[in-house]
Structure 1
Amino acid sequence: MAFKNRLLLFTLIWFLCSAALLTLLSVSVWQQNEQRSRQLLHKDLAMHMRDDNPLMVGDDYSPEALSSIFHTLMLLGPDFEIYFLDPQGNITTSGPPIEDVIRLQVDVEPIKQFLRGEPFPVLGEDPLSQQGEKVFSAAQIDADGQVAGYLYVLIGSQGYNAFADTENLLQYAPVVAAALVAILLFALVVYRMVHRGIITPGRLMVKQIEESAKTEFRVSPPLYLRSPELQDLANQYRRMMAVIQQQFIQLRVQEAQRREHLVQLSHDLKTPLANILGYLETWRIQHDEGRGMIDTAYHNAQRLQGHLKSQLEAARSPSAKIVLSYREIDVRELFEDVRHRFELQLKKKQVDLVITVSEPLNVFADEVLINRVFDNLMENAIRHSPARASILMDAAKAKGANISFCIENAVDETSDTGSLGMGSKIVDAILSLHQSQRQVSPPQVAEIPRYRVCFVLSSVMAKPRAQIRAVPTAMDFEEDSPPLQSDYPPVKAETSDEEEGTQSEDMHLSTKERNGHPVTLPSFSAVSKDDDEGTASGNNKAE
């Protein structure tokens, strides 16, 4: 619930509670004042009626005295009721008709309090009602030095109360209404002050910050408010946005420096790499011995040249574009290619690669990118495996049309953990493009702990998601293990019509514009083509 709604609800509840409480207090104060005034005015009435004529003749009441008292009652009017009580409070003689009397005995303790002179009002029981109490005047009747009874005069008869209660309540009604109106006006004034002093400036501040955020904090909002209570908060927001603007500038400068350095590095490596490829190509033509290792080195150099070209294009391009080439890949051939690429490293560390493929399996994926996934995972597995260990790489059918891939290796706690930490980030980004994710089983507590990583790929052509994560570029990371925590801009999937009639289908993904400006998305281009030897190579572009 919004603050203004809570304030309005609180004001309404406060008004209703105040109205009820004020009414009760007003009625209570009025009744106490009325009773005190009437009892104080007639406190000696019973005593005068007793002293005018002797009430007792022997052990009985005097008829002349009773006649005089009831004559006085007729002169006073119907506002008074007279009772004669014995020492225990039993009614012996009643002014009202005896058939109207409900309680034939009243409590004498209030009468004793009245005679002792305790503060007024002192309420006594009304014989004409079951639980009613009224103010009264009382006098003690003595005979032969002992208490013979009490003269009990109630002030305010039932007929008078029925007439006076309504009249007096109506008399106080304007006062109560005026007080309630004053409370309501006070609540409205407070609500108006809070709305103008807090709610409206707060909305203005939020709107200005939102407008600044839409421009990526390039424009600083004024944040000058009329409310002193919120101005300190606005000043802190202004300082915070100044820091954000400075950080944006630093990021742009660092990005420009990184691009420049990447361009220089790619340009410097291009010529030596071309020479290496030339030497390897010449060796392949002129020598037959050791052809397998030379072919491996030659293909790896070709892949490196493709990566280098992609890096150079990405560094020079102001905006990035993702181009994926999906094709059907035989899993067993994919595993054999991985074994062939890492054959020397496996022999050097005396590590066995055990491949398990339960049945012929095919997946739809970008061949170059999936090779990058296996390259990174295999490099980590070899680096962390102890000598004379084994690496398990298997593929099996999973739920639906998915194929599950797992790589498991023993963990040497003394092995090198890596320096840049880019392997896991690249794997996560590529798997995200293929609508998959890496699932890691932590090393189990054992004599030689083992590390297992799995992911799934689809065996049918799948459309890419609207939200993807691009392959991260080479940045300074401290660890390999934490996943990349970043939100990537949405991409647009388009089907290329340039290769209609071919067996494979290319999916081209490009970034959308945000706020009218192209979004710079670290990405890559992978478009496969067949060379003269039937091998598939692709360009990989990662910023």
Structure 2
Amino acid sequence: MKLTLTQRLSVVFAVLLLICSSTSAWLQVRSNRMHELEVVQGVSRDLAAHIARDTQLMDADGLKPDAVRNLFGQLMLVNPSVEVYLLDIEGRVVGNAAPSGHLLRDRVDLAPIRRFLSGAMLPILGDDPRSVDARKVFSAAPLKANGTQTGFLYVVLLGEAHDVFDAKDATGMALKIALWCIGLVALLCLLAGLLAFAWITRPLRQLTDKVGRFDINGAPKPAENIAPTSDSGDEIAVLDHAFMQMENRLGEQWRALTRQEQERREMVANISHDLRTPLASLHGYLETLSLKDATLSAEERRRYLGIALDQSRKVGGLAQSLLELVRLEHGFVQPVLEGFSLPDLVQDVFQKFELSAEARGISLSASLPAQVPAVMADLGLIERVLTNLLDNALRHTPVNGDVEVLLAVEADSVSVTVSDSGPGIDAELHEGLFLRAFTIGGARRDGGLGLRIVHRILQLHGRSIRLVERPGRGATFTFSLERRASVR
């Protein structure tokens, strides 16, 4: 069974709390036991000395049996848990009141006795003659006869009777209360820890649910306004903020890709349409020339050939524009910056359209300041920009209209404005004018590829082109180029 992070944390916390509580309880029992032993031994520290001083148990001839029996009987009546033993100078048990078969040791280690007599820190545990390996608190005093030490009086303070009573689970009330308190505190700590883990991991669970609901293959939800992250240092809040940014970014990219895919489909459809019309016309006239060559007059033949050549030029121009756009948008063309004069370039471009403008009765004019500084740009690409803009302007300007190019010097650039006296561009077509090559909202317009090429060329120069409103004029486009730094 797989556990959640909260469950794993809770299990680990419960185990650690159990270990700490058990250790605390063991230490409490241990300290209580050691305290009890210290108190018992401390209170009875001089018991053996009093007995040895007030009772003559041994003389020069050895042990006095009657004195020993009387002493043991009196002590058992006063305190049944006390056991008295007489030891010789080497620690052998030479006198006791133990029932038959209860004495399991015949010798007592004298090292604890010497430590006790030297005043060492209590409690001091010594051998229990009625046990093979038990050690208990005791009181001890040397026994002397005629000024010579003949042995030791060894009193076990918590003897066999105490062990029998203690084995009946006669735990002290104070110890029971302490253990119950430890258990209650452990339970409260466990509940508090579980609540704390649930509260701490709540943001992480919310983030997990949010990530789980995120569908990488589905349509993204609308972008959300993301509040700036605080400096609280909450890693989960930072992670949530980063996920929301990623989600918004993926949504933007999805929408951009969807838009680009739609534009690509529109472009393919419209290019196919624009290619099909001149190709069909070209094919029709060439087929007519082939089938009716013998019956056509020279004038009809020239007219048909002229129409076919015109349609061929349209196909070639469209193919050339498509190739140029692909090269620009895929990074195959990079601008080579050089300084040149914009007025000279405008005059050169005017010469290209002079004959076609005169044929339609359209005048070309340029408004040039007295001193126009040189600009830094790619001469060939900027010539292409002006060519496309003038070509569009001439095709949308009525007979006897005019096309004007205006240059203006600004602080760090030179602006170029191209306007015509045509009908202009409808407001609903302004959005995406430089991005969609052929249609906007289903409306057909000519020259879309040319404007997209212009937009991309200026992007490569770090510039942009805008459609602006100019009273009394038709379509008006403006852009700017960086001035060349003065050379001293």
Q: TM-score, normalised by structure 1?
A: 0.46
Per the alignment, residue 28 of structure 1 pairs with 30
Distance in 2, Cα, partners of 1:179 & 1:221: 51
Distance in 2, Cα, partners of 1:280 & 1:81: 138
Q: Structure 1 pair 219/204, CA: closer, same or farther in 2 (3 Å)?
A: farther
Once the two structures are superposed, the pairs formed by residues 62-77 of structure 1 within 5 Å of their partners are 62=64, 65-66=67-68, 69-70=71-72, 72-77=74-79
Distance in 2, Cα, partners of 1:100 & 1:217: 89
Distance in 2, Cα, partners of 1:58 & 1:79: 31
Once the two structures are superposed, the pairs formed by residues 437-476 of structure 1 within 5 Å of their partners are none
Preserved CA contact (<8 Å) 1:198 1:230? no
Deviation at 1:82, TM superposition (A): 0.6
Q: Which of 103-112 and 242-251 deviates more?
A: 242-251
Deviation at 1:157, TM superposition (A): 1.9
RMSD between aligned residues: 3.6
Per the alignment, residue 151 of structure 2 pairs with 149
Deviation at 1:154, TM superposition (A): 0.4
Preserved CA contact (<8 Å) 2:18 2:186? no
Letter in 1 for 2:51: M
Per the alignment, residue 11 of structure 2 pairs with 9
Letter in 1 for 2:186: I
Once the two structures are superposed, the pairs formed by residues 362-381 of structure 1 within 5 Å of their partners are none
The CA deviation string for residues 187-235 of structure 1, in whole angstroms up to 9 with x for no partner, is: 2112112213323x3333344455564863233468899x966333222
Deviation at 1:52, TM superposition (A): 1.0
Once the two structures are superposed, the pairs formed by residues 227-238 of structure 1 within 5 Å of their partners are 230-238=236-244
Other structure's SS at 1:167 match: coil
Deviation at 1:281, TM superposition (A): 13
Per the alignment, residue 263 of structure 1 pairs with 269
Deviation at 1:76, TM superposition (A): 2.4
* Residue 244 (str. 1) matches residue 246 (str. 2): no
Deviation at 1:17, TM superposition (A): 2.6
Deviation at 1:255, TM superposition (A): 2.1
Q: TM-score, normalised by structure 2?
A: 0.51
Deviation at 1:140, TM superposition (A): 1.4
Distance in 2, Cα, partners of 1:276 & 1:160: 124
Per the alignment, residue 175 of structure 1 pairs with 178
Question: Rg: which structure is higher?
Answer: 2
Preserved CA contact (<8 Å) 2:89 2:150? yes
Deviation at 1:33, TM superposition (A): 0.7
Q: Structure 1 pair 176/220, CA: closer, same or farther in 2 (3 Å)?
A: farther
Deviation at 1:38, TM superposition (A): 0.2
Other structure's SS at 2:248 match: helix
Per the alignment, residue 369 of structure 1 pairs with none
Letter in 2 for 1:262: V
Deviation at 1:276, TM superposition (A): 6.7
Distance in 1, Cα, partners of 2:225 & 2:89: 89
Per the alignment, residue 197 of structure 1 pairs with 200
Q: Percent of pairs identical after alignment? A: 28
Deviation at 1:91, TM superposition (A): 0.7
Per the alignment, residue 445 of structure 1 pairs with none
Other structure's SS at 2:272 match: helix
Other structure's SS at 2:155 match: strand
Per the alignment, residue 476 of structure 1 pairs with none
Deviation at 1:55, TM superposition (A): 3.5
The CA deviation string for residues 49-94 of structure 1, in whole angstroms up to 9 with x for no partner, is: 1111344321413456535533542452312111011122211111
Per the alignment, residue 50 of structure 1 pairs with 52
Q: Structure 1 pair 3/278, CA: closer, same or farther in 2 (3 Å)?
A: farther
Q: Structure 1 pair 188/71, CA: closer, same or farther in 2 (3 Å)?
A: closer
Per the alignment, residue 469 of structure 2 pairs with none
Give the total of aligned pairs.
286
Distance in 2, Cα, partners of 1:187 & 1:10: 11
Letter in 2 for 1:36: E
Once the two structures are superposed, the pairs formed by residues 325-344 of structure 1 within 5 Å of their partners are none
Deviation at 1:170, TM superposition (A): 5.8
Name which of 108, 120, 123 aligns with 1:121.
123
* Residue 218 (str. 1) matches residue 221 (str. 2): yes
The CA deviation string for residues 116-154 of structure 1, in whole angstroms up to 9 with x for no partner, is: 111111111111112111100001123465542111000
Gaps of 5+ in 2: 294-329, 332-488
Other structure's SS at 1:99 match: coil
Distance in 2, Cα, partners of 1:16 & 1:221: 46
Other structure's SS at 2:126 match: strand
Letter in 1 for 2:247: M
The CA deviation string for residues 402-452 of structure 1, in whole angstroms up to 9 with x for no partner, is: xxxxxxxxxxxxxxxxx99xxxxxxxxxxxxxxxxxxxxxxxxxxxxxxxx
Deviation at 1:259, TM superposition (A): 2.4
Name which of 169, 177, 188 aligns with 1:185.
188
Distance in 2, Cα, partners of 1:170 & 1:27: 12
Q: Structure 1 pair 211/19, CA: closer, same or farther in 2 (3 Å)?
A: closer
Distance in 1, Cα, partners of 2:10 & 2:128: 47
Q: Structure 1 pair 222/205, CA: closer, same or farther in 2 (3 Å)?
A: farther
Preserved CA contact (<8 Å) 1:83 1:151? yes
* Residue 160 (str. 1) matches residue 162 (str. 2): yes
Distance in 1, Cα, partners of 2:36 & 2:77: 23
Distance in 2, Cα, partners of 1:61 & 1:145: 16
Distance in 2, Cα, partners of 1:269 & 1:27: 98
Q: Structure 1 pair 46/267, CA: closer, same or farther in 2 (3 Å)?
A: same
Q: Structure 1 pair 33/223, CA: closer, same or farther in 2 (3 Å)?
A: farther
Distance in 2, Cα, partners of 1:100 & 1:170: 31
Other structure's SS at 1:100 match: coil
Preserved CA contact (<8 Å) 2:137 2:157? yes
